[in-house]
Amino acid sequence: MTHAPVTTPPAVRFRSAAEAAAALSLATPAGVVLLSVRGAAAWPGAAVVAAMVACAASAHPGTPYQAALDCGSAPGLALEALRQGWRLLALDAGHPAFPAVRGAAEEAGATLLPQAPPALDLSGLDLRRPGGRAILARHLAGG
């Protein structure tokens, strides 16, 4: 029996609801992974990042996406994010607490990545200009 390869939508790193909304507005039917900036679990915090994602998603209902919180090397913040309902987290695999956090994530039905997925960082793009939006669209289309 042959299985189809598992594919994941392209990822973008966002810093604001506006950046997340821009990614959702240009997403293909495959969707997008909205990845927080590194260490966002510490600042601005998991709840603020969740609010940014919710704001962006409300402006683009029906667009498929996954929200991922980058916890950097802070396992305590990853555990707090799990309690807040996050279901996709990245935590540095080299941290001694990684296995324990992975166990907690599995119990919660969440996924803990050993590193953040490759992503287009939106901070370097001017999404108000056609050129910036074109770069984002190309990335989301897999190009």
Extents of the domains making up the chain: 11-140
Q: Please confirm whether the linkage preceding 44 is cis (ω < 30° from 0).
A: yes
> Quick one: pLDDT band at residue 81, thresholds 50, 70, 90?
very high
Q: DSSP letter at 126?
A: -
Contact 75, 101 (CB under 8 A): yes
Q: What percent of the chain has pLDDT over 70?
A: 95
Amino acid (one-letter) located at 72: G
> Could you tell me the CA-to-CA distances from 96 to 12, 26, 69, 75, 91 in Å, in that order?
28, 39, 19, 9, 11
What's the average model confidence in pLDDT over 103-127?
97
> Could you tell me the CA-to-CA distances from 75 to 46, 53, 98, 101, 132 in Å, in that order?
13, 22, 7, 7, 34
**Has residue 19 got a pLDDT over 70?**
yes
**Has residue 1 got a pLDDT over 60?**
no
Query: What is the pTM for the complete model shown?
Result: 0.93
Q: What is the pLDDT of residues 23-78, one digit of tens each?
A: 999 999 999 999 999 999 999 999 999 999 999 999 999 999 999 999 999 999 99
